[in-house]
């Protein structure tokens, strides 16, 4: 009989959860989140976040980061979502910080953001209107336009992954070199348009394992973590509200029709949190294309169902600005579309599922990426 | 409520590999008609083979014939059996719940009498809960057991009793004291009844497709000795509620259509596949992965000594609806007319899913009742 060794456990320090939860709980009040949406920035919250070192969690210390594992960074992002903290935690840390550290590009003191690897219009490999030239000394000159760049308006440095002449590079351009037009997503979070007109930056060859696909996966994982937190908080609001709201002489949560919404939303909260944690665990160990794709698809679908259930259970109150449900539901509708739609990830997963064949289908479900061989 | 991620340990992965090897030898694809989940064929020989490996009643103590295994180890065996559509029907109920009830509430004499044969895969159990006038409102059962010399005399009718015509024993919830105002959960007791007892009559209730699973079981002065009362008379409701928790949240609540999906992939292999079909395989793999992780975490909680009743109700409610959704997606996508007698195995299975899966969200407690249980838990109220 074989004796199989299970992989080492991936443990997240409880202190991280407690610290982030307390920090955001104090800072991200309904009013503060609302004010950040109107202002487009939340410097007080960002500064307090940076003081904890969470802004660079999972970025190696030798690259100027705070150290820690990807799973720990994902736990912080889950709490960002849970408290609707209006800050670019993912962009600065596990996306931008990761790209810079991998490529050996020095990071500035200020905020770093990342151009999401999306469709050809914002791609760099010949498609669309973008072009890049890299000089021998590593300086790059960019022309073109990038869309939906989170918090570009507040950033010091804008980082992207570019394919140029068969070479994948990480390119970092100071925001001062770019023309930035503010644009919000549906939750009022900055998703700005960035124009590069002869913008000068630095380029470094991307090492193995760093390319647009890897960035897409990491970005998707970041959104799953945010969504897990947001759905959980949305459910808790809904349970509280339906216990307080009295109609026909009893709390509306006593009605079976309302209970259905509570149960369905709770299932989705549990499902997405599980997906986020398992995907984070596997991505911490190595490549996890199946788990991340599965988690993002699950999160996208769950966001659709859970926002519907929670809004319905809240009645008209949930449709107002004064009640906080919208901080979560609007973020979920936005994050659902970022780093890959349902259709995108279904297609990716479909390729994996059909490639393993009928006898490999169940092992894929039980062992994930490891079953892809 | 918290579902903590868990994963299989080295020895658990070894068990998984062992079960997969067993199934590859016993039931290679193409050699058997897969069953659709727990509504599986009764095959005493197959049950005996599993039992020989220690896979029936495996979580029961070795003192009583079990293998001292865990809920997670049982999960591993069950999921592999169900995903292959193995004929696990004969020992299913005894393995999943009755053995646990006898261990937890039964006397040593009952443990000695029932648990070793359960673990040998010999005894098939039916469950006697529903009655003509008691379904979701289970506490209203009115089949009576009345005291007689050294035993009880039972009169009344149980209904929807799966496989009573094939099984050996019947674990029954009966009324032993009249219903009290304000406390309808009192006065109920659990009994073990030989399905061949004099006065016990079993009549088929044909299933909608004509097949025979359901029965009506009528008691005409059926004598049940004292030694067959499980636990304390009057504590039946509590014991029964505990028993129901074993029914919930396991792979049987989300894997039933898997063999159908796998067969579609088998039959589609080798020909160009439409994107929509490929995408569906991707989506289904993802969702099964997610639900499985939740369900596995429930099994781990049980092994840690918890009683995750809310978590298991949530998984069962979600899992059984998911089973129906899988079938609906296949139906929407497949441009063939299928029949239970189609030449294609996939089409036969799909036809069977369409016809029988409405029952998946009903059996063992409707999803409406599960929502009520789960939502009380979410609100911190007693279930």
Last residue of a domain, one of B78, B108, B123: B123
What pLDDT does residue B383 have? 52
Q: Is the pLDDT of residue A85 over 60?
A: yes
B210: left (phi over 0), alpha (psi -120 to 50) or beta: left
CATH of the domain at A347: 1.20.140.10
Pairing of strands A246-247, A178-181: unpaired
Last residue of a domain, one of B123, B142, B158: B123
Same domain, A246 and A360: yes
Mean pLDDT of A127-139: 71
Q: Is the pLDDT of residue B291 over 80?
A: yes
Same domain, A189 and A225: no
Mean pLDDT of A130-148: 84
Give the separation between CA B383 and CA B307, rounded to whole angstroms. 13
Same domain, A179 and A252: no
Give the one of A6, A239, A346 whose C-beta lies nearest to B10's C-beta.
A6
In a domain, A98, yes or no: no
What pLDDT does residue A110 have? 94
What pLDDT does residue A1 have? 56
CB contact under 8 A, A1 and B275: no
Last residue of a domain, one of A87, A102, A128: A87
CA torsion sign for B340, B345, B350, B353 is positive
| Mean pLDDT of all residues belonging to chain B | 95
What pLDDT does residue B203 have? 98
Closest residue in A to B315 (Cα) is A267
Give the separation between CA A84 and CA A328, rounded to whole angstroms. 7
Count of pairs with CB atoms under 8 A, one residue in A, one in B: 161
Domain count, chain B: 3
Q: Is the pLDDT of residue A275 over 50?
A: yes
Residues with Cβ within 8 Å of residue A258, at least 6 apart in sequence: A242, A252, A313
Are B195 and B158 in contact by the 8 Å Cβ rule? The answer is no
Same domain, A24 and A152: no
How much of chain B exceeds pLDDT 90, in percent? 86
In a domain, B305, yes or no: yes
Last residue of a domain, one of B101, B123, B145: B123
Which of residues 136 through 175 in chain B touch A, CB cutoff 8 A? none
Give the one of B14, B288, B370 whose C-beta lies nearest to A3's C-beta.
B14
CATH of the domain at A129: 2.40.110.10
Long-range contacts of A37-41 (CB under 8 A, 24+ apart): A37/A86, A37/A184, A37/A187, A37/A188, A37/A189, A38/A188, A40/A153, A40/A154, A40/A182, A40/A184, A40/A188, A40/A190, A41/A151, A41/A153, A41/A154, A41/A190
Same domain, A233 and A333: yes
Q: How confident is the model at residue B240 (pLDDT cuts 50, 70, 90)?
A: confident
CA torsion sign for A320, A325, A331, A336 is negative
Give the model confidence (pLDDT) of B350-360 as tens digits: 999 999 999 99
In a domain, A105, yes or no: no
* ipTM of predicted complex: 0.96
Are B303 and B72 in contact by the 8 Å Cβ rule? The answer is yes
Same domain, A308 and A345: yes
Give the one of A256, A274, A348 whose C-beta lies nearest to B293's C-beta.
A274
Residues of A in contact with B285 (CB under 8 A): 290, 294, 349, 352-353, 361, 364-365
Dihedral pair phi/psi, residue B180, rounded to 5°:
-95, 150
Last residue of a domain, one of A38, A54, A87: A87
A113: left (phi over 0), alpha (psi -120 to 50) or beta: beta
In a domain, A101, yes or no: no
Residues of B in contact with A294 (CB under 8 A): 285-287, 289-290
In a domain, B3, yes or no: no
In a domain, A217, yes or no: yes
Enter the DSSP assignment of A116: -
| Mean pLDDT of all residues belonging to chain A | 93
Domain count, chain A: 3
Same domain, B199 and B137: yes
CB contact under 8 A, B10 and A364: no
Give the separation between CA A38 and CA A190, rounded to whole angstroms. 11
* DSSP character string of B293-362: HHHHHHHHHHHTT---HHHHHHHHHHHHHHHHHHHHHHHHH--S---TT-SSHHHHHHHHHHHHGGGGGT
Using CA atoms, how far residue B371 sits from A258, A263, B140, B156, B360, in Å, is 10, 6, 20, 30, 15
In a domain, B347, yes or no: yes
Give the model confidence (pLDDT) of A184-236 as tens digits: 999 999 999 999 989 999 999 999 999 999 999 999 999 999 999 999 999 99
In a domain, A92, yes or no: no
Same domain, A198 and A302: no
Give the separation between CA A367 and CA B272, rounded to whole angstroms. 27
Q: Is the pLDDT of residue A125 over 70?
A: no
In a domain, A128, yes or no: yes
Last residue of a domain, one of A207, A228, A263: A207
Residues of A in contact with B368 (CB under 8 A): 256
CA–CA min distance B24, chain A (Å): 10
What pLDDT does residue A126 have? 39
Same domain, A365 and A217: yes
What pLDDT does residue A240 have? 97
Residues of B in contact with A345 (CB under 8 A): 282, 286
Same domain, B170 and B268: no
Give the separation between CA B95 and CA B121, rounded to whole angstroms. 8
Same domain, B270 and B291: yes
Are A82 and A72 in contact by the 8 Å Cβ rule? The answer is no
Are A226 and A78 in contact by the 8 Å Cβ rule? The answer is yes
CATH of the domain at B35: 1.10.540.10
Both tokens of A255, joined, read: 């009605």
CATH of the domain at B174: 2.40.110.10
Point out which residues pair with B154 in neighbouring strands. Answer: B145, B222
CATH of the domain at A49: 1.10.540.10
Which comes out higher in pLDDT, residue B276 or B247? B276
Structural domain boundaries, residue A116: 110-207
Give the separation between CA B298 and CA B301, rounded to whole angstroms. 5
**B206 vs A: CB within 8 A:** no
Give the separation between CA B288 and CA B285, rounded to whole angstroms. 5
Same domain, A30 and A72: yes
Structural domain boundaries, residue B117: 10-123
In a domain, B282, yes or no: yes
Q: Is B374 exposed, middle or buried (0-12, 13-18, 19+ CB in 10 A)?
A: buried
């Amino acid at each position: 009989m074989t004796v199989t060794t299970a992989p080492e456990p991936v443990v997240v320090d409880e202190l991280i959860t407690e610290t982030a939860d307390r920090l955001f709980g104090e800072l991200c009040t309904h009013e503060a989140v609302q004010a950040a949406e109107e202002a487009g920035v939340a410097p007080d919250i960002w500064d307090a976040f940076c003081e904890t070192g969470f802004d660079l969690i999972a970025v190696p210390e030798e690259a100027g980061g705070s150290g820690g594992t990807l799973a720990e960074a994902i736990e912080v992002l889950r709490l960002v979502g849970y408290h609707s903290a209006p800050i670019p935690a993912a962009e600065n840390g596990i996306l931008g910080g990761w790209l810079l550290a991998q490529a050996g590009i020095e990071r500035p003191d200020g905020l770093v953001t990342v151009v999401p690897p999306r469709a050809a219009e914002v791609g760099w490999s010949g498609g669309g209107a973008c072009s890049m030239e890299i000089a021998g000394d590593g300086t790059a000159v960019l022309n073109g336009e990038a869309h939906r760049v989170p918090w570009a308006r507040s950033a010091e440095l804008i980082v992207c992954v570019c394919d140029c002449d068969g070479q994948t590079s990480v390119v970092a351009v100071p925001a001062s070199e770019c023309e930035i037009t503010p644009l919000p997503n549906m939750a009022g979070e900055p998703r700005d348009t960035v124009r590069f007109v002869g913008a000068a930056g630095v380029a470094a060859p991307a090492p193995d394992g760093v390319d647009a696909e890897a960035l897409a996966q990491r970005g998707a994982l970041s959104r799953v973590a945010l969504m897990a937190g947001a759905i959980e908080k949305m459910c808790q609001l809904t349970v509280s509200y339906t216990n307080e709201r009295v109609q026909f002489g009893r709390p509306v949560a006593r009605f079976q029709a309302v209970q259905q919404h509570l149960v369905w939303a709770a299932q989705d909260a549990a499902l997405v949190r599980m997906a986020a944690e398992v995907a984070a665990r596997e991505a911490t160990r190595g490549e996890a294309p199946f788990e991340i794709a599965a988690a993002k698809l699950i999160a996208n679908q769950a966001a659709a169902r859970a926002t519907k259930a929670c809004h319905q259970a809240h009645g008209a109150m949930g449709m107002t600005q004064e009640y906080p449900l919208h901080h979560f539901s609007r973020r979920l509708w936005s994050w659902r579309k970022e780093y890959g739609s349902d259709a995108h990830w279904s297609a990716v997963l479909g390729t994996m599922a059909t490639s393993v064949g009928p006898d490999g289908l169940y092992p894929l479900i039980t062992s994930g990426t490891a079953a892809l061989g | 409520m918290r579902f903590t991620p868990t994963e299989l340990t080295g020895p658990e992965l070894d068990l998984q590999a062992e079960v997969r090897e067993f199934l590859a030898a016993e039931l290679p694809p193409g050699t058997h008609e897969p069953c659709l989940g727990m509504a599986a064929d009764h095959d005493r020989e197959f049950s005996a083979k599993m039992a020989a490996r220690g896979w029936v009643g495996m979580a029961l103590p070795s003192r009583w014939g079990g293998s001292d295994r865990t809920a997670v180890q049982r999960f591993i065996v069950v999921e592999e059996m169900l995903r292959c559509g193995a004929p696990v029907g004969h020992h299913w109920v005894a393995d999943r719940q009755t053995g646990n009830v006898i261990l937890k509430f039964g006397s040593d004499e009952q443990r000695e009498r029932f648990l070793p044969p359960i673990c040998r895969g010999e005894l098939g159990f039916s469950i006697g809960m529903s009655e003509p006038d008691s379904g979701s409102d289970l506490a209203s059962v009115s089949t009576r057991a009345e005291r007689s010399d050294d035993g009880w005399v039972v009169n009344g009718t149980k209904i929807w009793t799966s496989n009573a015509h094939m099984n050996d024993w019947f674990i029954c919830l009966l009324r032993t004291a009249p219903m009290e105002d304000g406390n309808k959960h009192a006065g109920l007791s659990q009994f073990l009844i030989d399905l061949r007892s004099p006065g016990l009559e079993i009549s088929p209730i044909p299933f909608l497709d004509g097949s025979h699973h359901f029965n009506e079981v009528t008691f005409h002065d059926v004598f049940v000795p004292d030694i067959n009362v499980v636990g304390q008379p009057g504590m039946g409701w509590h014991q029964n509620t505990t028993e129901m928790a074993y029914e919930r949240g396991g792979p049987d609540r989300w894997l039933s259509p898997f063999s159908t999906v796998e067969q579609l992939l088998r039959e589609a292999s080798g020909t160009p596949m439409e994107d929509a079909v490929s995408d569906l395989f991707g989506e289904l793999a993802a969702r099964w992965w997610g639900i499985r992780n939740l369900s596995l975490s429930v099994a781990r909680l049980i092994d840690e000594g918890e009683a995750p009743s809310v978590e298991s109700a949530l998984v069962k409610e979600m899992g059984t609806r998911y089973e129906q959704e899988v079938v609906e997606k296949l139906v929407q996508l497949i441009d063939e007319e299928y029949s239970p007698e189609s030449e294609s195995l996939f089409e036969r299975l799909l036809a069977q899913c369409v016809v029988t899966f409405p029952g998946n969200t009903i059996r063992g407690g409707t999803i409406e009742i599960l929502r009520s249980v789960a939502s009380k838990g979410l609100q911190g109220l007693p279930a």
